[in-house]
Structure 1
């Protein structure tokens, strides 16, 4: 941790009704951030009060989907470095220390002036029932720390297909040690409901690009997703929570392919379409 005050760092947060988790996010980054920028899409649960107490700059915005809304937040930041976070993500102390070390002088001076793009990836871990899941969904490296000048030059930008966004950079990101805590859900029932919504969004994008569902995919993909988490990722080592995580992965695959089949059968209907759904925190 730096003792020299805030770093030349903006923290960009996209939120709506994130009161359950955003206080932890703000407490984690406030000591190192020169700017906290929040794009809020209509919070009514106390999120705005928490942002005000943290001294955040709040920009009200309509929800444009994951990719476009996060890109708007990225471009609105004013500092030489930008750390992009969801409202349910918070850097653990070891990650805060690693970020501070990476952006401390003189190393930061060399990185800031390097002609090639510079970016850092963080490992995100799900926090559930009072502990981390160290195997399910691991490792999950996410590019989240970029230079503002690379954003301005179009060398760092949000991309992907909603709801699976990704911060793309022109150069391979360097990996920072430490953990990005992900309070994605309080219960697995909440996670299952979120996955049903996300599966519908993803299936819609797949249908628009010409993908068609099949019974073979419906039968093969869910058990494949289950075994990937349970065996390849060794989620069983996380105990009962790991088994439930594997089941969630299977359910998401099932819902995605079922929705894709349904969209294919209804493609001639005139009432297709609709606005992108807002996440409850990704």
Structure 2
């Protein structure tokens, strides 16, 4: 019996590869849901051209964006993609066969499938892309009633899959993560900001060694041990990116949470293991960063590396977002 499949795609100004992504799933999907964070390019136009249903949700963190997308899907099986993840022709054929069999393998019905993902940077397949050693396997296809992202981290989020049956698919997704240096470093401020908030919410503390020594040790491990040196210039660039990312997240953790106001943040985030607790951690961080600090200002979220004024603090209402996570939809807004 053929299973019904929803495909959701997270987007923000994703016109560069979105048509390629949508084309790779169009013949497989019974429904395509695009969850957009406020694009100003042709993302909506391209999505509608492929028959996708476009929902706009203001971005707070990656975990909640995925929970919203999953709860917006209509069918029991979900394929979760980013706007730079393209199904290979071999994977399309494999999924087509599995779908025709109701995603059953023999007489066993798994709860989800972990799919190989090949990573590309500047058009070249690479062996490492911090924090991933490539290729990796990640749960992309799953039964919505059995598993999902609820309770995951707010960054580098993953499916919560305790006590479920997972099968592997070895035909790959092609992950075209970055096509330029500007795009690579443009993501760094948001990622390190969320990483610092997540570490603080989970009781991690920074130190002189973590800021000044650990980034170089990590560079050595990724370049020499994990084999990034085999990728030539692309590998050298990505190892520098890994070093800079770790340096910045521990630097932000140290300085953005280094005053007596930390106790206030920790009290507000007493429910650290929940989405609401993590939201409060990030919300408190924004309030801290909005406080005047002489003539300097922290890095902005404008896609530029460092510098710039901080944009207005998003108005995150924890009760509202908790309600949204329970199935009450809150649409609208911009900014991922």
Establish whether TM, by shorter chain, passes 0.5: yes
**Aligned position for 1:192:** 185
TM-aligned CA distance change 1:249 to 1:147, over 3 Å: same
Contact 1:111–1:118 at 8 Å: present in 2 too?
no
Moved over 3 A (4+): 109-114, 155-159, 273-279
Partner residue, 2:241: 248
**1:60 matches 2:25:** no
Counterparts of 1:1-282 in structure 2, within 5 Å, are: 8-105=4-101, 108-109=103-104, 114=109, 118-136=111-129, 137-150=133-146, 155-170=147-162, 171-268=164-261, 271-272=287-288, 275=314, 279=336
> In 1, distance between residues paired with 2:250 and 2:39?
32
Q: Kindly tell me: are residues 267 and 126 of structure 1, through their superposed partners in 2, closer, same or farther at Cα, counting changes over 3 Å? A: farther
Deviation digits for residues 7-59 of structure 1 (CA, Å, limit 9, x no counterpart):
62110112121111211110111111111011122222010000000000112
CA distance in 1, matches of 2:239, 2:54: 37
Aligned CA distance change for structure 1 residues 264 and 59 (closer, same or farther; 3 Å): closer
Inter-CA distance 99–224: structure 2 relative to 1 (3 Å threshold): farther
For structure 2, the residue ranges without an aligned partner over 5 or more in a row are 265-286, 290-312, 317-333
Task: Say which is worse superposed, 11-20 or 165-174, in terms of deviation.
Answer: 165-174
Paired with 1:149 and 1:211, the residues of 2 have a C-alpha distance of 33
Matched position secondary structure for 1:175: strand
Structure-2 change in CA distance of 1:268 and 1:20 (3 Å): same
Which position in structure 1 is the counterpart of 2:272? Answer: none
Residue deviations 1:148-185 (CA, integer Å, cap 9, x gap): 332xxxx3334432221112223252211122222222
When normalised by structure 1's length, the TM-score is 0.85
**Distance in 1 between residues matched to 2:107 and 2:154, nearest whole Å:** 31
Q: Deviations over 1:94-114 (max 9, x none)?
A: 222222233232x63568984
- Return closer, same or farther for 1:22/1:29 CA change in 2, 3 Å cut-off: same
C-alpha RMSD of the superposition: 2.6
Which is strand-richer, 1 or 2? Answer: 1
Partner of 1:160, secondary structure, is coil
How many residue pairs get matched?
Answer: 267
